[in-house]
A and B are shown apart, each in its own frame.
Chain A
Amino acid sequence: MAAFTAVRAAVSFTQRFVRVSRDCSVCPLYRLNVCTGAAVDGFSAPNRRLPKRAGWVDLLLYSRVNVVFIDRSGQRIPVKARVGDNALHLAHKHGIELEGACEASLACSTCHVYVSSEHYEKLPEPEEREDDMLDMAPMLQENSRLSCQIILTPELDGMELTLPKVTRNFYVDGHVPKPH
């Protein structure tokens, strides 16, 4: 039963993908070595076409990326996302209090987040314009990024994005975070 579900997931994925690109080399099923050739023969008899080398679990999980937002009160909010999702958009979809004043056009720093260190390394380098905007964000740290520039990839599974505590109210003991 579970295997059948996996195949149907693979078929529907392929059907959607084929509409976008008919080039096999960009298809994740091909790259994961689980292509059943379904697209070529018009999806006949899907039951007999089970993925062979990689497990069907990998297939189901391929496009899923798990992200945890940590809001300003320290509460952890796990979120299920997909490859290609924009981190800021994801935050809004889940009611996380992250502003995006300039609507992802690199003209503000209101979507500033801290990225968990092992995932920070996996993000592509920020372009100069992002670095310029980050320079204006209060409490900049080494792992700071603008969330509107973070596009989810499989390696970012498990990433934690922490919202900076930017209000003066928080540091009542006079603690000043070390500037970067």
Chain B
Amino acid sequence: MKIHGLSSASRCLAAEGGVRGLSSSSGPRVCIVGGGPAGFYTAQQLLKDAAVDIYERLPVPFGLVRFGVAPDHPEVKNVINTFTQTAQHERCSFHGNVNVGKDVTIDELRQAYHAVVLSYGAEGNRSMGIPGEDLPGVFSAKDFVGWYNGLPSNKELHPDLSFETAVILGQGNVALDVARILLAPVEMLKETDITQNALEALAGSKVRRVLIVGRRGPLQIACTIKELREMVNLPNTRADMLPADFEGIAEALKDLPRPRKRLTELMMKAVKEGGDDKAEKCWGLRFFRSPVEVLAGADEKRAAGIRLALNKLEGSGESVRAEVTGQLEDVDCGLIISSIGYKSIPIDPAVPFDPRRAIVPNEMGRVQDTAGLYCSGWVKRGPTGVIATTMNDSFDTARVLIQDMEAGKLDLSVNKPGAQAITALLQTRGVRMVLFSQWEKINAEEEKRGKSLGKAREKLLDVDEMLCRAK
């Protein structure tokens, strides 16, 4: 049963011209920078009252829904249907292959539109800041996930999967996704939209043991229960936990709020039951450990292990923090994946940026000291949360923008040229835009290639190839 998202309701309103009774040639024009969930959800709400243009750096839309959500979570990607309806709305235009900050500046966008919304997410990576981090064999989770999900800039990653043990730093959902993809039987992956080269690399992988390391304790683990349950239920694997890490946890259970309680109970069950001893693969959570150095092998050429510092917890409740004890532990491993968070980067010198928090400083989505500039999604709040979190946040920003329009804080009396002016500018600069109908050609090609391989789709990995298909 296909259930349509909100856009069908908002489309009905829009057909009557919405609240403002606008026609397609005049009325407020808003520009959104970033074609991922934040961009599309913000657009969805704005379309009732404005014409919306979305600019995206890649030729293909959908951001982390395409490049971040794990291949074995296709239902999470259903949201693409809602985004597609939004893009196909008569007052919405998608412009792919446009690099805002390079091909066109924020100031040029602000001149062409009544308001600009920054929804460009977090493409950078928090580094561990430890010696040996740049040795071969060490990857950021962002790059590893980008590799198996077909992000063009990660296609040459070639991670070496010939080692028995992999260590992942961080215990959020991204860390658990990586662990699951490393240990899942190939049968579970071969019909998904995982890239063919990743599938082949994983089929030949020698990785049998994955440790997922966090600096605090079980009660602070950042993943959610769905992902943990998938690890517990993973075929042909067993859980390898340290009972010592769980001292005192059973007693704390009764006072926990429901989500934390259920998550902790599941972990305790994994500690107790462990799983099938005959399983050839294993995974384990390791707590109270922070990375201090990546150890090179005898030849000094690549990573062969990681040195962890043991912590103790100080404080209580939400402000529990890890403090060093001075004890160290070395773990032999050939694959190290750092999954400690994504990070936004500044897009344009004209936009304020807070380098400490790595977000655009804002008040409820209004960019500080800059009238007519807004933000939504990770670049506004920081890189945490699931699609639903970004959805609520984007709806908030849209609401604030509409309020500002109605309160006269944006000068709507002047007509703005919108995409007409920007398209002309881009043409003089030799930029080839990809419209949504052209993405649909790329989409059809990917589905066709996937079909011949028995997969949901085979993603194009090369921007030039995407542009070629888009003609």
If over half of A's interface residues share one DSSP class (helix, strand or loop), that class is named, otherwise mixed; here it is: loop
Q: Which of A97, A106, A107, A148 contacts B9 (CB 8 A)?
A: A97
In the assembled complex, A60 has its CB within 8 A of some CB on chain B = no
Q: Which of B8, B81, B225, B386 contacts A103 (CB 8 A)?
A: B81
In the assembled complex, B1 has its CB within 8 A of some CB on chain A = yes
- Chain A residues 100 to 141 lying within 8 A of chain B, measured CB to CB, are 100-110, 128-129, 131-133, 135-138, 140
What's the minimum C-beta distance from A145 to chain B, rounded to whole angstroms? 14
Residue contact B3 to A100, C-beta cutoff 8 Å: yes
What string of 1s and 0s marks CB contacts (under 8 Å) between B1-29 and chain A?
11111101100100000000000000000
What's the minimum C-beta distance from B113 to chain A, rounded to whole angstroms? 24
Interface residues on chain A, number (Cβ under 8 Å): 37
Please measure, in the bound complex, the distance between the C-alpha atom of A23 and the C-alpha atom of B292, giving whole angstroms.
70
In the complex with contacts A108-B386, A169-B364, A180-B257, A135-B263 CB distance below 8 A? yes
Residue contact B258 to A107, C-beta cutoff 8 Å: no
Name the A residues within 8 Å of B392 (CB-CB).
138, 166-167
Q: Which of B70-78, B184-192, B278-286, B428-436 is found at the contact surface with chain A? A: B70-78
Residue contact B396 to A169, C-beta cutoff 8 Å: yes
Please measure, in the bound complex, the distance between the C-alpha atom of A44 and the C-alpha atom of B263, giving whole angstroms.
62
Among B262, B364, B388, B395, which residue has the most Cβ atoms of chain A within 10 A? B388
What's the minimum C-beta distance from A165 to chain B, rounded to whole angstroms? 10
Q: Which of A99, A166, A169 contacts B5 (CB 8 A)?
A: A99
In the assembled complex, B399 has its CB within 8 A of some CB on chain A = yes
Name the B residues within 8 Å of A96 (CB-CB).
9
Name the B residues within 8 Å of A135 (CB-CB).
224-225, 258-259, 262-263
In the assembled complex, A31 has its CB within 8 A of some CB on chain B = no
Q: Which of A103, A131, A168, A179 contacts B396 (CB 8 A)?
A: A168
Please measure, in the bound complex, the distance between the C-alpha atom of A62 and the C-alpha atom of B273, giving whole angstroms.
49
In the assembled complex, A86 has its CB within 8 A of some CB on chain B = yes
Residue contact B81 to A92, C-beta cutoff 8 Å: no
What's the minimum C-beta distance from B407 to chain A, rounded to whole angstroms? 14
Residue contact B364 to A92, C-beta cutoff 8 Å: no
Name the B residues within 8 Å of A138 (CB-CB).
389, 392
In the assembled complex, B271 has its CB within 8 A of some CB on chain A = no
- Chain B residues 213 to 235 lying within 8 A of chain A, measured CB to CB, are 224-226, 229
Among A92, A132, A140, which residue has the most Cβ atoms of chain B within 10 A? A132
In the assembled complex, B387 has its CB within 8 A of some CB on chain A = yes
What's the minimum C-beta distance from B75 to chain A, rounded to whole angstroms? 4
Please measure, in the bound complex, the distance between the C-alpha atom of A103 and the C-alpha atom of B387, giving whole angstroms.
13
Residue contact B78 to A92, C-beta cutoff 8 Å: no
Give the top 6 A-B pairs by smallest Cβ distance, nearest first.
Answer: A105-B75, A135-B259, A107-B75, A95-B9, A101-B79, A103-B78
B-side residues, CB < 8 A to A, are: 1-6, 8-9, 12, 73, 75-76, 78-79, 81-82, 224-226, 229, 257-259, 262-263, 364, 386-389, 391-392, 395-396, 399-400
